[in-house]
A and B are shown apart, each in its own frame.
Chain A
Amino acid sequence: MATNSHALYGEADPATLGGYDEPPPRMGFFTDTSVCIGCKACEVACKEWNAIPEDGLVFTGMSYDNSEGLGADTWRHVAFIEQRKPLAMQDPGVQHEDVDVLALASQGSGTPPEQARITPTTPGEPGQMRWLMASDVCKHCTHAACLDVCPTGSLFRTEFGTVVVQEDICNGCGYCIPACPYGVIDQRQEDGRAWKCTLCYDRLSGGMEPACAKACPTDSIQFGPLDELRERARGRVDQLVEAGETGARLYGEDPHDGVGGDGAFFLLMDEPEVYGFPPDPVVTTRDLPAMWRCVGAAALTLAATAAASFAGAMFGRRP
């Protein structure tokens, strides 16, 4: 196992790191949320293709989002965010003059989830309104914490540079779950094992595009070789910013970020945390060498402690 730091962070080709000699181009997603219509076709197509169990009937009141987030039984999740902010120069037409903005905002996201489940979440001007929608998925990180920490080798890197769980090997240790900096992979109650998006490894192997991308009517989910997607995405941001949507930005596209860039990256219209993304994720194993060093130091300290305890007892001669 490689432990040199380069394998744990920074720009890299994950498939090569994963030991493939001549891998095909790294494949991934560019999810352009500016054209997402929140139809959830991606969520349903994913469930259909992968035969994922139903996730419970909970009316959340989180705008039109009743699946709440990614989990063992939700591998695509569409977020809905109602905000008092303008979308470029859109005229939303709403006429809310006398709503107590602060009262609404106080029920926003800083508070515990029970009280936070109300829209809108962002204070702003009464005449402003936009409804952001975004389809989230596993990021297929260049440096995937889930994969790094998996003790069984159940999680592996495919030749396409994606990260996949092998359900017959996963022993449900649950380690990958808190390791993921994006809160993606999760445990299924029924079988105790960890599940997440496979980037449709079975379809890719058969030359097909992933089910979610196939189902997306507006091409909000774009699938392809990551290099191409990155280039297209940069052009797209420029186009939007130039057109007045100055909030447009890419997320997870930068190979120099804390996870070495995401295999599935996004064009967002607001700060990442608004969509439930961490603003500056870092793969946890980036610090692992340092962690081992600290562990080593602590272990030596303990050994020394033990020696000292006996030495002390010898010199002290106390009973």
Chain B
Amino acid sequence: MSDSEVTRQGLRGTRPDREALIGVAAGRDGEQPPGGDTEFTSYYGRPVINSPVWESPDIPGYLFLGGLAGAASLLASGADLTRRPELARVAKAGAFGGAALSVAALVHDLGKPGRFLNMLRVFKVTSPMSVGSWLLAGFTPLAGISTVSAWTGRAPRWGATATAGAAALGPAVAAYTAALVSDTAVPAWHDGYREMPFVFVGSGATAAGGLGLLAAPAAQAAPARNMATFGVATELTSGQWMEHRLGMVAEPYSSGRSGRYMRAGKVLSVVGLAGALLGRGNRLVNALSGATLLAASAATRWGVFHAGTASADDPKYTVVPQRERLRRGEQARSGDAHTAPPDRTH
């Protein structure tokens, strides 16, 4: 009931306009439901975060090509050092082609070529895309010079320097895209940030190794095979570990479209690797295995890409882990000895 008054002197006992109380003045003996239902709820099933607007094949292609380029530059440099000129030429072409196409994919996604220049307005470590753009901006010309020199035979010293330079940047080029995808609110990406770089360098190594097997003569293909072996092993183990650690957020890696890509990636890796190891020396088997490994790497990238999108589109992957985190935080605060400290909070 109103407690403000209109006296002869004026208003008395008024409260600020904003302090309206709803549903309290009268009515039934309402009992509030216990707060914090643990059950999952959302707003009409709509996503909580915005899904990446990046499109396939641009962005998964960009991830794949970057990985290929980075690892290939290492292969190229090693081939130079160990005098495997055929392998070197192939790997250099792979490094340059991968980087150039990777930039092209990004530019295509941006819509207008001129927009790529805006990437170089600033340098921001907090933006893996900025870091990546600078890396690519440095790497691509080096890989280009290295490739041109190798294929034309001209300016060998420039070529050697460029090859070394590209190789120095190569690991970063192959790895930074993991930070790029993880540095988002996309649950399946962000929460896997520890393993994702290993998945990505593994995938890059698989691709570069695959390229070497595919295009280099069998006599020079051994390092490529080794690299692919390492790549597949790293990719599979770190991927497995990542899914294990992600818990329910890992679902998209094994279900739906993204799950199919991921499975394809695994099967192709194993098949490709088996081919490479068993059919050693056979040019044709080498080539087939190499192509399979390239496909495996690509499938994994597409899988990761779509897993991210799927985890962003379904609110439960955002809500449930956060709820869980809050619950554990609360329990930790209330001194529950049985609860381990939250895993993914820092």
> Does a CB–CB distance below 8 Å link A and B in the complex?
yes
* In contact, A299 and B201 (Cβ under 8 angstroms): yes
Q: Is the CB of A152 within 8 A of B41?
A: no
Tell me the residues in window 115-141 of chain A with beta carbons closer than 8 Å to chain B beta carbons: 115-117, 121-122, 124, 130
- Interface residue tally of chain A, by bracket? 35 or more
Output the least CB separation between B172 and chain A (Å).
5
Pick from A1, A116, A124, A245: contact of B24, CB under 8 Å = A245
B252 an interface residue at 8 Å Cβ cutoff? no
The answer to whether the Cβ of B118 comes within 8 Å of any Cβ in the partner chain is yes
Q: How many residues of B contact A (CB 8 A)?
A: 115
Closest residue on chain A to residue B308 by CB atoms: A178
Give the residues in chain B near A116, CB-CB below 8 Å. 42, 44-46
Contact A291 B179 (CB under 8 A): yes
Query: CB distance A246 to B74 under 8 Å?
Result: no
**CB-based nearest B residue for A280:** B322
Is there an interface contact between B127 and A302, defined as CB atoms closer than 8 Å?
no
Q: Does A158 contact B (CB under 8 A)?
A: no
A19 interface residue (CB < 8 Å to B): no
Q: Is B197 within 8 A of A187, CB to CB?
A: no
Interface residue? A95 (CB, 8 A): no
- From the candidates A154, A239, A281, A309, name the one contacting B78 in the complex (CB within 8 A): A309
Query: A281-B322, A299-B175, A305-B234 are known contacts. Are A177 and B53 too (CB-CB below 8 A)?
Result: yes
Q: Is the CB of A153 within 8 A of B201?
A: no
Complex-state Cα separation, A284 to B129, whole angstroms: 14
Bound Cα distance from A295 to B47, whole angstroms = 29
B172 with A299: CB separation less than 8 A: yes
Q: Is the CB of A246 within 8 A of B35?
A: yes
Known: A110-B40, A174-B52. A285 touches B126 (CB 8 A): yes
Q: Is the CB of A173 within 8 A of B110?
A: yes
Tell whether, in the assembled complex, residue A280 and residue B124 are in contact, meaning their CB atoms are under 8 Å apart. no
Enumerate chain B residues within 8 angstroms of A106, measured Cβ to Cβ. Answer: none
* Residues of chain B from 14 to 28 with CB closer than 8 A to chain A in the complex: 17-24, 26-28
Residues on the B chain within 8 Å of A62, using CB: 44
From B40, B81, B129, B314, contact of A149 by CB (8 A): B129
Task: Please give the distance in Å from B235's CB to the nearest CB on chain A.
Answer: 11
Q: How far is the CB of B321 from chain A (nearest CB, A)?
A: 9
Chain B residues positioned under 8 Å from A172 (CB to CB) = 110-111, 115
- Within the complex, the shortest CB–CB distance from B279 to chain A, in Å, comes to 12
What would be 30 A-B contacts, judged by CB atoms less than 8 Å apart?
A34-B22, A68-B46, A86-B23, A109-B43, A110-B45, A121-B43, A130-B23, A150-B127, A151-B127, A152-B119, A152-B121, A171-B115, A172-B111, A178-B50, A178-B51, A178-B189, A180-B49, A180-B50, A183-B49, A185-B50, A273-B42, A278-B319, A287-B182, A290-B194, A295-B172, A295-B179, A295-B197, A298-B175, A305-B205, A305-B227
